Every structure is written in C-alpha cells, then in structure tokens.
Amino acid sequence: MIVTVTPNPALDVSYQVDRLRPGHTHRIGTVHERAGGKGFNVSRVLTDLGRDTIAIGPVGGVLGDSVRADLDDAGIRHALLPVSAPTRMTITVVATSAPEGEEATLFTEPGGPVADDDWRRLHDLVQSHLETAKVLVCSGSLPPGAPVDCYADLVRLGHAHAIPVLVDAGGPALRQACAAGADVVKPNAAELAEAVGGDDPVAGAELLRAEGAGAVVVSLGVDGMIAVTGDGRWRAEPPYAVAGNPTGAGDAAVAALATGLAEAQPWPQRLRAAVAWSSAAVAAPVAGSVDQTVLADVRDQVRLTNLDLTEPARPT
C-alpha cells in the first residue's frame, strides 16, 4: 500500500470561461468541485490505476466536509484528521478561447493555520498506517504555521518503520527532507533552481543528493524528466506533446515513482512510467485523473537517455 500525506488539502473549484478578462464579470455555467491537494491527487491516480493507497490529511470546516465527501464519491480510501482550521479553497479558471500558450489561471488560498497539536496527531495517524505500507509519499505545500521540518520528520518516521519515503515539495521543506535522507524527491525545475540555484537540473539534482536525498527526479514539463540516482542518471522524454491540463501531471509522475519504489522497479522503468503517467494526466481534463488511451499509447514510446553514456539509448 502507498500512503500519501497531504498537509494542506483544498477544495478545488474549477470554472470554465470563454476568455478571462480582468475587470469584467464572468457568469459561470457549470461548477466543478473536487478534493484537491497534491497527495490526494497522487492517491486518486493510484486508485484510478488499481493500486492500493490511502490518503491522509487534515480537514476542517464546511469545505473539509466537501473534501471528505468527494474522496468518498471517488472511492479513494482515506484517513482524514479533523482539525479546527478550515480547509482552504483553490479556484482554477480555464479559458476555452485563451490565447495560444496561456494556461489555466489559479487562485490558491493559503490554508488555515494548523495547530502544533494537530501536527503531532497527524504524525500519529500516519504512523498508524505504516504497518502495511510499502511507500510513504509526502506531497504539496505546507499550511501557514507548519513546522518547516514536518516532511523531514515524516522521512524519519518512515525509515523507523523501514518504509521508503518520497517527498514532492519545494523550499525549505525540500532541503530538510533531503537532509533527513528522503529516498526520492521530485522538485520541478523552478523548485530545484530556487532550492540550489543554477539552471542545470542535473547539477542541481546532484547537489540535493549530496545533501542526503537518495534519488532526485526533476520534472521539466514538456521536456520530460531526469533522474539522478545512486544507480545512474537518466533522462526520459515523451514521444509527443500532449495537449490538455498540466495541473496534476507532476502528481501522476509521483504516483508512478511511488509505484516503482513499492515494486522495486529498476530506475529506467520507473522514469519511463513517470513520463507516461504524466502525459496521460495532461490528457485528462482534471487534476488527479489519467487518460488510459494516452497512457497505453505513450508508455512504450518514451525516449530514454542514459546521461552517463555519450550515446542516447535506443527506445526499446
């Protein structure tokens, strides 16, 4: 089982407009709501693809009730911690006639401050699900007032139970997770550059490994991903760009990487899967879902390059 932790869940509300016009009133047709937060998206992808997972996170207030109801509706197994801080909302505005290259517009609320005692209770809740866990995934932003070492703390907790831990985060939480020995971290290029500076993702990934991370996977958007690991360094690229909604593509990649960890797959296989699942997520209209047709088509066409060889590897 893959345990996901989402410290800062949200109710994701999606609006579709023709064009987003600042200063104007937009009358919305249909409103889509779903449980959001990166760890929840990871569990949603895993559930969609038939993998065993449980989603853990704090929820509060009326939006917390909506998050719980949506996870129930989607059949996503969960263990939610009731807290007093109300669950936040994120608004995604998709413009169907947006100018070429304009992505969705997001408004992300910060989330309510989670109390110290809540963190201890969340830690205990995670611990109670580690007996049957194969991998622990910690994913997404931290709410205001969260201890900056909370992901590092969960890394240590996982290791105390001999469970590998994957962390998808940026900023100080990423650095501390690396220092605690996170088995895999998955920054995107911007998060990596913010953490270690420079614009070479391989060099940046090496720096995070030097700080303690077991393996570093850097997502590069349409250019695919690189993995810098103790077993070697690879780059994987999708065979073609998939049109759609890139929100949640990183979460699908994390779901693939966590599955690879759980099944002790060799790294080339993990990285191919991460790129394929990510492309399939872009093709699906909402974050946390994957398009199975695209997944089947892309899976065997991902181009893999061994960065430690001069010649690119042939597609298998």
Residues noted as catalytic: 251
What lies within 8 Å, CB to CB, of 3 at 6+ separation is 53, 54, 56, 126, 129, 130, 133, 135, 136, 137, 163
What lies within 8 Å, CB to CB, of 117 at 6+ separation is none
For residues 18 and 215, give the distance between their C-alpha atoms in angstroms, rounded to a whole number: 42
Question: Interacting stretch for a second copy, rule CB under 8 A, among 44-52, 107-115, 220-228, 289-297?
Answer: 107-115
Among 1, 49, 89, 222, binds a second copy (CB under 8 A): 89
For helices 201-211 and 189-196, give the axis angle rounded to 10 degrees. Answer: 60
Site pattern 109..148 for a second copy (x: CB under 8 A): xx--------------------------------------
- Nearest CB to a second copy, comparing residues 33 and 206: 33
20 near a second copy, judged by CB under 8 A = yes
Asked if 49 contacts 284 with a C-beta cutoff of 8 angstroms, the reply is no
Q: Any idea what the Cα angle at residue 277 is, between residues 216 and 103, rounded to 5°? A: 90
Report the nearest approach of a second copy to the CB of residue 109 (Å). 5
264 near a second copy, judged by CB under 8 A = no
62 near a second copy, judged by CB under 8 A = yes
314 near a second copy, judged by CB under 8 A = no
Among 72, 107, 240, 292, binds a second copy (CB under 8 A): 107
21 near a second copy, judged by CB under 8 A = yes
For residues 39 and 92, give the distance between their C-alpha atoms in angstroms, rounded to a whole number: 18
Sites of contact with a second copy (CB under 8 A): 13, 15, 17, 19-29, 31, 62-63, 65-66, 88-89, 91, 93, 95, 98, 101-110
